Amino acid sequence: MTFWICRTCAVEHAEKVDVCAICADERQWVPADGQHWTTLGEMAAEGYRTEIVELEPDLFGLTSTPKAGIGQQCKLLRTPAGILLWDAIGYVDDEAVRAVRELGEVVAIAASHPHMFGVQVEWSRRLGGVPVLVAEPDAQWIARRDPVIRLWSGTEEVLPGVTLSQPGGHFPGSTIAHWAAGADGRGVLLSSDTVFANPDRRSVSFMRSFPNRIPLSPAVVERVARHVEQYDFDRLYGNFETRIDADARAVVRRSADRHIAWARGDFDHLT
């Protein structure tokens, strides 16, 4: 079956539409020279390949070179019961599937939000029909529908000790994954763009649109922060290579308080 991949966000589409709806939304962007499409065959001919690196015991990062679309780092979280493939990248080939299978059996694929759908259905098919979990509030953004997709809402223990939940914010269904056994038992949060790990490695951000610089309101930031505070975690991973190595739960609270204070006008005298 032929399907199309948006060059800008690398999300798979069943049809080549005039403009990718995900990129036309205010949280993303369409290039100045318009919409561009590609296929896995074209990408393979252009020399795309994948690389897997170990981030910590039982957590791996998967990327493509060149970067497909937004260029996220997919996370592969391994447990004795199987692997969660988180934020699938927008490229897959036989070599990538072999490398993933060498780590174990993927039992679920999930994305933090629609920008990170990648070619999730294609990953599922090549891995034997693995369930693709999509947050029900964001179902409208699915551009390639397939029986492997399962909608969910609220909280879901996708693997023993690995919990998905939806604090919302960036998207109504924006999702985090909590891994209780990560960071030597201190807990890990895979937060993607929901709680974005900043380049300074000491703070996080809460945004509706990152490329177009639209912040979330103080009330929503407080809601998101309170949601993630229900979990114990010492380390936080974003959807690229940025991370908060230690004391991440406290970093989220400090960053939320800072965001709220600036939006409230507490620091207007500095401007």
* pLDDT value of residue 41: 97
Residue 151, strand partner residues: 134
Q: Rounded mean pLDDT of 36-49?
A: 98
Q: Rounded mean pLDDT of 118-136?
A: 98
β-pairing verdict for 235-237 and 188-190? parallel
Q: Token pair of 65, please? A: 């070179």
Place of tokens 């380049």: 199
Is 215 a residue whose pLDDT tops 90? Answer: yes
d(CA 108, CA 106): 6
DSSP run (H or E) holding 260:
helix 248-264
Is 269 a residue whose pLDDT tops 90? Answer: yes
Q: Rounded mean pLDDT of 131-156?
A: 98
Is 1 a residue whose pLDDT tops 80? Answer: no
* pLDDT value of residue 248: 98
What is the Cβ-side half-sphere exposure of residue 248, based on CA atoms within 13 angstroms?
30
Percent helix, percent strand, percent coil in the chain, to nearest 5:
25, 30, 45
What letter would DSSP give residue 221? Answer: H
Structural domains of the chain ordered from first start: 4-270 (3.60.15.10)
d(CA 76, CA 258): 32
* pLDDT tens digits, one per residue of 63-117: 999 999 999 999 999 999 999 999 999 999 999 999 999 999 999 999 999 999 9
* pLDDT value of residue 2: 87
Is 205 a residue whose pLDDT tops 80? Answer: yes
* pLDDT value of residue 255: 98
Nearest to 146 by CA among 186, 184, 109: 109
pLDDT band at 156 (very low <50, low <70, confident <90, very high): very high
* pLDDT tens digits, one per residue of 231-241: 999 999 999 99
Residue by residue, DSSP assigns 54-121 as EEETTEEEEEEESPPTT---EEEEEETTEEEEES--S---HHHHHHHHHH--EEEEE-SSGGG-TTHH
Average model confidence (pLDDT) across the chain:
98
The pTM score is 0.96
CB atoms closer than 10 angstroms to residue 145: 11
Is 175 a residue whose pLDDT tops 80? Answer: yes
* pLDDT value of residue 64: 97
Distance of CA 118 to the CA centre of its chain: 9
* pLDDT value of residue 102: 98
Is 214 a residue whose pLDDT tops 90? Answer: yes
Q: Rounded mean pLDDT of 241-259?
A: 98
Q: Rounded mean pLDDT of 253-267?
A: 98
